[in-house]
């Protein structure tokens, strides 16, 4: 029979693990409202590591990264997010945002420096109800925008995004000429938390 001390120690460890899992689930649900920069750690680890220094924001040559506002809460205020509703992430070869992150909240996995694997930053999808080629008129404004081979395919002059290849950079959305963009971009965790993620936070919100 285990001693009472061993029993209580085991119970405390389990309680701690349960608390961590609950905290992780909570922050992950909230993270469905914004899109983190490339190679961001999982949300709980990201929040623990990020110092809100703004180095990644300053390092982005295309000004796609912005700090989340105070109205979203003290836990996330000042942390970086991608403004993919209005701009696209250019998947810079040298990953300047990641290189600038000294705390390691943005951390590239152990890949060869000259050929890093592309990170999946978001999920993109063509809205066939508003995309011009699906309604009859020819368009093709987004045709040359995709930097990932095979991510955007054209079938009968209509664009289709391959979810297996697309990394969600949103350059196709930026290239769309419609005022109400025909390409939707969502946080990767939205698939698991759709009811809590109807709207993605952008810099203009």
pLDDT at 27: 63
Considering the domain architecture, whether residues 16 and 114 belong to the same structural domain is answered as yes
Considering the domain architecture, whether residues 114 and 132 belong to the same structural domain is answered as no
Please determine, for residue 184, whether its predicted confidence score (pLDDT) is greater than 70.
Answer: yes
Give domain status of residue 89, yes or no. yes
Confidence tier at 96 by pLDDT (50, 70, 90): very high
Give domain status of residue 96, yes or no. yes
Give domain status of residue 3, yes or no. no
Considering the domain architecture, whether residues 97 and 129 belong to the same structural domain is answered as no
pLDDT at 193: 43
Which domain range does residue 73 map to? 8-119+196-205
Rounded Cα distance between 50 and 101, Å, is: 8
Give domain status of residue 49, yes or no. yes
Give domain status of residue 109, yes or no. yes
Considering the domain architecture, whether residues 70 and 159 belong to the same structural domain is answered as no
Give domain status of residue 50, yes or no. yes
In the structure encoding, which two tokens stand for residue 119, read together? Answer: 């990170």
pTM: predicted TM-score of the whole model, two decimal places: 0.81
Rounded Cα distance between 33 and 20, Å, is: 21
Give domain status of residue 67, yes or no. yes
In eight-state DSSP terms, residue 40 is: B
Give domain status of residue 1, yes or no. no
Structural domains of the chain, count: 2
Considering the domain architecture, whether residues 24 and 108 belong to the same structural domain is answered as yes
In the structure encoding, which two tokens stand for residue 197, read together? Answer: 């993620």
Considering the domain architecture, whether residues 111 and 152 belong to the same structural domain is answered as no
């Amino acid at each position: 029979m285990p001693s009472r001390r061993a029993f209580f120690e085991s119970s405390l460890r389990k309680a701690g693990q349960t608390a961590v899992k609950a905290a992780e689930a909570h922050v992950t649900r909230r993270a469905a409202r914004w899109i983190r920069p490339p190679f961001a750690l999982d949300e709980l680890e990201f929040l623990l590591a990020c110092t809100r220094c703004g180095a990644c924001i300053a390092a982005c040559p295309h000004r796609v990264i912005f700090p989340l506002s105070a109205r979203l809460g003290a836990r996330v205020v000042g942390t970086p997010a991608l403004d993919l509703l209005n701009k696209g992430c250019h998947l810079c070869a040298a990953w300047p945002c990641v290189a600038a992150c000294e705390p390691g909240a943005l951390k590239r996995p152990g890949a060869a420096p000259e050929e890093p694997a592309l990170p999946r930053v978001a999920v993109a999808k063509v809205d066939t109800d508003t995309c011009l080629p699906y309604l009859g008129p020819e368009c093709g404004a987004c045709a040359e925008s995709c930097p990932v081979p095979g991510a955007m395919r054209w079938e009968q002059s209509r664009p289709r995004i391959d979810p297996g290849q697309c990394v969600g950079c949103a350059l196709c959305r930026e290239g769309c000429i419609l005022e109400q963009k025909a390409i939707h971009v969502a946080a990767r965790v939205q698939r698991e938390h759709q009811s809590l993620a109807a709207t993605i936070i952008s810099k203009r919100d």
